[in-house]
Chain A
Amino acid sequence: MNAPARLLWLALALLLITPGLGRTEQIVCLDCHDSDMMRKELRAIPEEWRKSVHFQNGIACNDCHGGDPGDAQMAMSPERGFVGKPGYDQIPQFCGKCHIGILKNYLDSGHGRALKSSGSGPNCVTCHGSHLIQRASIDIINEERCSQCHTYERAKVIKEALFETERNIRELRGSIEALHKAGVYTEDLGKELFSTEAEFRTLFHSVDVSLIRQRTDGFLRQLDRIRGEDQNIVRELRFRKNFASYLMLVCLAAAGVLVMLFRTKG
């Protein structure tokens, strides 16, 4: 068989998509936590995690809890850095290993100080949950949750102060996603938005109304700039569509004239 033919049926052979192909490593934690020998609440953990934003971004058990996900015998050994379940007042430090900026603002906030002084203030999981964690939204601030500890009044004021910025972010995120679907490489724009959003989220954890109000203008300006870039891309896409349509019409017209030409000949 000669070279082109051999290369070809390699090509022809395009297939066998095995879904597991390329998945990096097996996490041994799941072997036990998924099995029915586990207590019900411990068994629910992997299922919750699989629905979480952490799972979507490849954050696995050991990224928070330590330990060795590759060795069933030693998976939960403190020697391998296993820390297990944090105590109630240890939770902010636990999440703050990665969410550094948020931890800092939280610790300075009324919430954080309450936890420190009394050991019973709201911590991360009070609002965000633990294993089933989702991308945060402003809806987390609601009467049911806040009034567990204090009246909703103050929380409502903060929510109102955040509302406009949050709405802008949500809108822009949708718009950028749509551009990505339309074939545009949006990583740079997406990162700009994420950075703004993250800064805003960090601020939000200070639960300080006057600080939030004071900085809202800056955020809105930043978002306006991102929206401007986004709109430029939308306009550019419209231009491309028009230009390609024009080229198509010219080609069609040329083909039409040729048809008329060879019909005229007789």
Chain B
Amino acid sequence: MVRKIKDWLEVRIGLAEIIRTQLTGYMVPGNINLFYTLGFVALAAFFSQVATGFFLLIYYLPHSEYAFRSVQDIMSRVPYGWLFRMMHAVGSNLMVATVVLHMLSVSYMGSYKKPRELTWVAGAFMLFVTLTFCLSGYLLPWSQLSYWATTIVTSIPAAIPYAGDMIAGTLRGGEMVSGATLNRFFAIHVILLPLLLIFLFGIHLFLVRRIGVSSPPFGRTAPRWRPGTSFRHEDHPDGHPFYPYFVQREMMMVFLYFAAMFFIIAFLPTLFSPDDANTPADPFRTPAHIKPEWYFLPFYQLLKLIPNKLLGIGIQALLAALFIFWPFIDTREEDNILKRPRLLALFAAVVVSWVILTVWGRYS
């Protein structure tokens, strides 16, 4: 049976050749490591979000009158609604974590260097899209937490001279966060961002395949491959086959990702949903301690530390630009960070200050 289907496809699309060139004969570097699977894990995380998000849409009502109630119905009345909702909510946090880890490992291994600048830029934008996903999805349950976090975020652009009020108003769809804001964020969350992310992912994957997988600078067996003045695909003839060698490792990491997700659902179900997350939004009562989610804490704390709001936003914009265009700033050829003490120090400084700002933001 399987054989018949294979033969049928062989005649029409040349299946054997695809398998040979894309899977078994597609070689990845001999010294490749588990960190290289994180991109695939992030992709799997995204698909999980799409699937669970679709299931949630079946019962979710995007209207300020019904949103909170519909989410609570999914959690308590619809059979197994809790499972898909928790997978979606916990998954959003884990997806950010995976994307951030992917980015850290890419920076540490210098994979953003020539000729892969564009791959990095596309990835940086995908990180931004992921965070915007979180931000817009956060408002949808229409809880106290989501309402007030969104109120604060959407008030930030008001500090921008001249256009500030207009931007804030456009985001909110009015003076205050209201049902209009909910509908805007809903549209962004379920249509705009998924399409944008898939588009960016297409570019990202195209670049990875077209340029070839980079080899980690550590434990190289072959001499380092250096890009020349004209395009050439980087291949690794003496490496490992993509399938089964690398796919097995990717699958193992995906299973670990889901194991972590179910661990949180089973043992730390309130990790990402404090009390205020199951209290309906009340525009007349500000909860005592609203903190942004962990991935926004460093930016939140940095903004709090800078007394002038406009200056704070300016600095963050500058940091964002530095981040996006980093491969064009760090153009030194040496890609082993261990041979570049100053780059290593910078990397460590960024990670440490990230951690400090997160902890500080959490407990201040």
Q: Which residues of A line the B interface, CB within 8 A?
A: 1, 4-5, 7-17, 19, 21-24, 58, 180-187, 233, 236, 240-245, 247-248, 251-252, 254-255, 258-259, 261-262
**Stretch in B16-24, B127-135, B222-230, B343-351 touching the partner:** B127-135
Known A10-B171, A185-B76: A15·B299 in contact at CB below 8 Å: yes
Known A15-B304, A16-B309: A255·B255 in contact at CB below 8 Å: yes
Known A4-B129, A5-B128: A180·B156 in contact at CB below 8 Å: no
Q: Which residues of B contact A243 (CB under 8 A)?
A: 83
Min Cβ gap A259→B in Å is 6
Q: Are A255 and B256 in contact (CB under 8 A)?
A: yes
Q: List the 3 closest pairs (A to B, CB-CB), nearest first.
A: A244-B266, A248-B262, A251-B259
Report the separation of the CA atoms of residues A58 and B303 in the bound assembly, to the nearest whole angstrom.
Answer: 31
Report the separation of the CA atoms of residues A183 and B273 in the bound assembly, to the nearest whole angstrom.
Answer: 7
Q: Which of chain B's residues has its CB closest to A261's CB?
A: B248
28 contacts between A and B (CB under 8 A): A5-B320, A7-B135, A11-B132, A11-B296, A12-B299, A12-B320, A13-B157, A14-B292, A16-B152, A16-B156, A17-B290, A22-B148, A22-B285, A24-B284, A180-B275, A183-B270, A184-B76, A240-B269, A243-B83, A245-B262, A248-B259, A248-B263, A251-B258, A252-B256, A254-B251, A254-B255, A255-B255, A258-B255
B33 interface contact, C-beta 8 A? no
Q: Which of chain B's residues has its CB closest to A245's CB?
A: B266
Q: Are A15 and B255 in contact (CB under 8 A)?
A: no
New A-B contacts (17) at CB < 8 Å, excluding given A11-B132, A184-B75: A9-B320, A13-B303, A15-B156, A15-B296, A15-B304, A17-B304, A22-B151, A24-B284, A180-B275, A182-B270, A185-B72, A241-B269, A248-B263, A254-B255, A255-B259, A259-B252, A262-B248
Q: Which residues of B contact A186 (CB under 8 A)?
A: 278
Interface size counted on chain B using CB atoms at 8 A: 67
Q: Which of chain A's residues has its CB closest to B248's CB?
A: A262
Q: How does the 8 Å CB contact mask read for B231-270 relative to A, with 1 for contact and 0 for none?
A: 0000000000000010011011101101100110111011
Report the separation of the CA atoms of residues A252 and B118 in the bound assembly, to the nearest whole angstrom.
Answer: 36
Q: Are A7 and B278 in contact (CB under 8 A)?
A: no
Q: Which residues of A contact B320 (CB under 8 A)?
A: 5, 8-9, 12
Q: Which residues of B contact A183 (CB under 8 A)?
A: 269-270, 273, 277-278
Q: Which residues of B contact A233 (CB under 8 A)?
A: 76
Q: Are B304 and A9 in contact (CB under 8 A)?
A: no
Report the separation of the CA atoms of residues A14 and B245 in the bound assembly, to the nearest whole angstrom.
Answer: 42
B125 interface contact, C-beta 8 A? yes
Q: Which of chain B's residues has its CB closest to A247's CB?
A: B262
What does DSSP make chain B's interface, helix, strand, loop or mixed? helix
Min Cβ gap A59→B in Å is 13
Report the separation of the CA atoms of residues A181 and B196 in the bound assembly, to the nearest whole angstrom.
Answer: 37
Report the separation of the CA atoms of residues A8 and B76 in the bound assembly, to the nearest whole angstrom.
Answer: 33
**Stretch in B101-109, B310-318, B326-334 touching the partner:** B310-318
Min Cβ gap A51→B in Å is 16
Which of A180, A252, A258 has the most chain B CB within a 10 Å cutoff? Answer: A258
Within 8 A of A (CB), among B154-187: 154-157, 171
Q: Are B128 and A7 in contact (CB under 8 A)?
A: yes
Which of A1, A5, A180, A181 has the most chain B CB within a 10 Å cutoff? Answer: A5
Q: Are B82 and A240 in contact (CB under 8 A)?
A: yes
Q: Are B299 and A14 in contact (CB under 8 A)?
A: yes
Known A1-B317, A243-B83, A251-B259: A14·B156 in contact at CB below 8 Å: yes
Q: Which residues of A contact B304 (CB under 8 A)?
A: 15-17
Min Cβ gap A175→B in Å is 16
Q: Are A15 and B82 in contact (CB under 8 A)?
A: no
Q: Are B313 and A13 in contact (CB under 8 A)?
A: yes
